[in-house]
Structure 1
């Protein structure tokens, strides 16, 4: 049976309204005629006491009272929750529907953040592929050309995996045991052009067996070494140190840049250092920390002597299981 303007079913019971997850308040000439169970919980007013009272006494917000008078829709932030409020009017009768959309808004924010992260991650393999294609335009020995082709195929695989993540969401990490030297060699190869342009060099510390997603580990290394190239002085060596910390391996990227006053803020999304110049999304270190936290490690920055050290930890094979 269809309900009338007060929400009561004509010729039948109106228990259906109490099964709705949304809070529903019905009015007649400015007085409350009905609140459902969700509304009673939201405003802390028993259903029997709400009937016959002015709207303001029940909802206790002038914003909602005005919304009911005019009709329309708005969102309210109430004690950490996001409420979508919709009001309709039909002559002297009115209805206010309030839906908790906190989780929906949270998922939207996560999707925006994930999109920003993936966009940032796409840049590295795209840049590497551009370099490979530009190199292949020139005549070169067959062995060297084949090496460029292999590198291009490797980066194409990375792009394919990123595209899969973009299509179906983040999947569990593809972790395996690998020597750090493998990731170091891959990062150095991809950064050859940047190192040459900055007349810089990079040295790597002792090798260790670790457990990580090779692509994510590479992304962390590339972000940290690229930052050292951008913000450290030109023609200065970049040092990548490794240390055992119990069952964890600590990797630190050191540059001789000027001291950074507030290192913790650099790891927040869309944040860049005060002295940063040129284009940048401010997502690099946020991505680093997100990836490292994904395998249970820590990421931070500190001053070590005359160098800035950007550090992270990852599981050594001794800590597996």
Structure 2
């Protein structure tokens, strides 16, 4: 009937019933269950939806979600006397966006935890009387952590603006990382050594974020006093950067890059998001990120690639 044409224009699948028998399917429902209106008319609900959970939902009313062939369907049913209606909506994209929001929240929690904790420690220490040179040292540490926080706040806008990629020498990013980590390096009596310089194409802040994450992991899990090496090499048009530490061998390195995953030897608090963040950033510029154990050297290598630029360090 022409006055019912509106129901076929709905994006949701709609099934109407009377006394447990189907009286109407709209176009979306016909596509969903692969049954025409003519064939469905007068048949039991179960013959059309082919799921006892949906049959029961139509009988009793209510709401549920189903996972069907990789899609998330929100099913809502109403029932009044002999009449019933089932509305099915594909909410896969909505659920994906919710998952991304939860992931972003976890990322922010992970990234802000370290500088906030460090600033708290600095402020608590400054409450006490101490020699002027020691107090100045705490102030310097606080300023370094404030710089990290400022960078993180700036990074919040990355998803809403074009990537700020530019050509830069790796040495520039290495120098920034070493400066920001100087207090942590001193506390662990550890030094950083860097490999050959190369020109690369990347967002400088994101490259720094990757380096800080990998070097901080090496500081956390490597033995105190052992230098941390950042090795570089050209791989065709890509530059490979590896952060090497002398910590214990890591089993199942691939799972470390999954969200909310920490290594079996991990200690202390942590969200397990650090390496997930690294891989996400590196994939953003088209590179790869991985971890492996070099048994000959007795070291763990956490590596990533980024686009190289013909010139410095390349023949």
TM-score (norm 2): 0.88
Instruction: Give the aligned partner of residue 237 of structure 2.
Output: 247
Equivalent of 1:232, from 222, 231, 245?
222
Instruction: Give the aligned partner of residue 37 of structure 2.
Output: 47
In terms of mean alpha carbon deviation, does 216-225 or 147-156 score higher? 147-156
Distance in 2 separating the partners of 1:190 and 1:288: 18
Q: Would the aligned equivalents of 2:110 and 2:270 in 1 still touch at CA under 8 Å?
A: no
Shift in Å at residue 318 of structure 1? Answer: 2.0
Aligned-partner SS, 2:196: coil
Matches within 5 A, 1:257-268: 257-268=247-258
Instruction: Give the aligned partner of residue 62 of structure 1.
Output: 52
Aligned-partner SS, 1:14: helix
Distance in 2 separating the partners of 1:232 and 1:150: 26
1:29 aligns with 2:22: no
TM-score (norm 1): 0.86
Instruction: Give the aligned partner of residue 105 of structure 1.
Output: 95
1:317 aligns with 2:314: no
What is the CA deviation profile of residues 217-249 of structure 1, one whole-angstrom value per residue up to 9, with x for unaligned ones?
A: 111111111111111122211111111112211
* Number of residue pairs aligned between Structure 1 and Structure 2: 305
1:204 aligns with 2:194: yes
Shift in Å at residue 145 of structure 1? Answer: 11
C-alpha change, 1:131 and 1:173, in structure 2 (3 Å) is: farther
Shift in Å at residue 198 of structure 1? Answer: 1.7
Distance in 1 separating the partners of 2:149 and 2:88: 48
Matches within 5 A, 1:1-321: 13-123=3-113, 126=116, 139=132, 154-155=147-148, 157-165=150-158, 169-304=159-294, 305=296, 306-318=298-310
Across the aligned residues of Structure 1 and Structure 2, the Cα RMSD in angstroms comes to 2.7
Distance in 2 separating the partners of 1:31 and 1:312: 60
Unpaired runs of at least 5, structure 1: 1-7
Distance in 1 separating the partners of 2:267 and 2:182: 22
